Structure formats: structure tokens, C-alpha cells
Amino acid sequence: MLIFKYLRFFGTHLVSLQVDSVTGVASVSNSRLDNGSREYLRLPELTDVVEVTLNPRHFLFTVESIAPGYRPPDTLVKAAIDVLLQKCAHYLAIVERPGFASTPVTEVEADPVLTASEADENAHTRLYGRVVGLDAIFVSPDLRRATFRFTGEDHTLGAALRYCILQSDAVKLCGYCQPHPLEDAICFEIQSQGKLPTSIAFVMHFG
């Protein structure tokens, strides 16, 4: 059987398969034990029937503590999650303010590269000792596409936020970038589906 030929490349001690009794499709029982081997491509009869893909819902992190007796890895992970949740609550309060990104914006009056003092003057705040802020630097005339600038943030927030927003059917496009490695900010772009304003889609799925 093809299943046994497939297992030959991985070993039954590493991967076990479960077979759907209705469709007859066999899948890996525990994908975390699969090392992603492509050895099955050596057999022509397996090339067209085996599909190996990545599960975008799996995120594996390795945390190493320099003082495991004082701050073990599990404590560090919990503290990091608490910080991320507080950041989300902070920014959610900003996007829920009346009028946020509700009118077209085509030009940014302020310099996008802000110093700490300039950021304070532009209603930015401090969070965990860093100057942070959220601004809508572009909003299309139909309000369906917008670019937001997170000051004081990087890939830690950007990657998680992008993943969560892309789970929504109300969002057509979502991505972010760091304008420059030395710039302490990320630019986040969202395009909504249909006639739903981007600001509403942002508020709906930020939390």
C-alpha cells in the first residue's frame, strides 16, 4: 500500500497516519513529529498523491533564560504575553476613539520620523519606557484602504497583528513593513472587502 511506502521514508516511530473512513485520505496524526522530509518524491507513485504543506496556525518558539533559577523560560513567556495583551489594549483604545481614520488622509503633515520630544507633542505616550503611538498616515477617499504607523513597535507586534487580521473575511489585504532597520516603527496597510471602512475592520479585529 502507498501508506506503508510513505511511512518507510519517515519511520513509524516518528510519524503515524490517520485515515478518513469516508474520503480515504490519510493525514499525519501529529504534525509536530514530522520533520518535513521530501524523500517521498523519489517514488513516482507518491509524487501526485502526497501533499506536504505548512500549517500557518503553528508557531514554535525557543526561549532560553540566562538566569533559569531566577526567571525560568515559562515565566518569561508569560510575562511577554502579558506585555503583548497590554499593548493591544492600549492601541485598541486609540482606534476606538471617535473619528479615528474616518476621513481621507492623503498627506502627512508631521515628519514621519519623530524624536521622543516631538512624539510627546503629537499625543504619543510612553509604554514600558518607550515612546509609542498609532497614526493613520493614509486613508483612501473611499475609506477602504489605509496605512497606519505604529511608533515604537517592530515585528513582535506586526507579525501577530497581521496574522489575526488576515483571519477575517472582511479584510482583503493586510501587510506591514519596517521602513528602515534603524527606524523604531512599522507601517501597517489594510484593505477591506466591499464597502466596509478600513477603520471599522481594524477595530473589529484588533482585539
pLDDT along the chain (207 residues), means of 10: 59 60 73 65 73 68 86 91 88 84 70 44 70 88 89 89 83 89 90 73 59
Owner of C-alpha cell 499625543: 123
Q: Could you tell me the residue ranges of all domains in the chain?
A: 1-46, 73-106+122-192
Rg of the chain taking only CA atoms, in angstroms: 23
Please give the pLDDT value at position 78. Answer: 93
Please give the pLDDT value at position 75. Answer: 92
Please give the pLDDT value at position 44. Answer: 77
**169: helix, coil or strand?**
coil
Please give the pLDDT value at position 185. Answer: 92
Please give the pLDDT value at position 119. Answer: 41
Q: Which residues of 182-200 are buried (b: 16+ CB within 10 A; e: fewer)?
A: eebbbbbbbbbeeebbbbe
**Residue 65 DSSP code:** -
Phi, psi values for residue 177, rounded to 5°: -150, 160
Please give the pLDDT value at position 24. Answer: 72
Has this prediction a pTM greater than 0.85? no
Which residues, 6+ apart, have CB-to-CB distance to 192 below 8 Å?
Answer: 144, 145, 170, 171, 172, 198, 200, 201
Q: Environment class of residue 161 by beta-carbon count within 10 Å: exposed (0-12), middle (13-18) or buried (19+)?
A: buried
How far apart are the C-alpha atoms of 176 and 139, rounded to whole Å?
Answer: 15
How far apart are the C-alpha atoms of 171 and 22, rounded to whole Å?
Answer: 34
Please give the pLDDT value at position 118. Answer: 46
For 9-39, what is each residue's pLDDT tens digit? 655 544 566 777 787 776 776 666 666 666 6
73-106+122-192 carries CATH number 3.30.1360.10: yes
**150: helix, coil or strand?**
strand
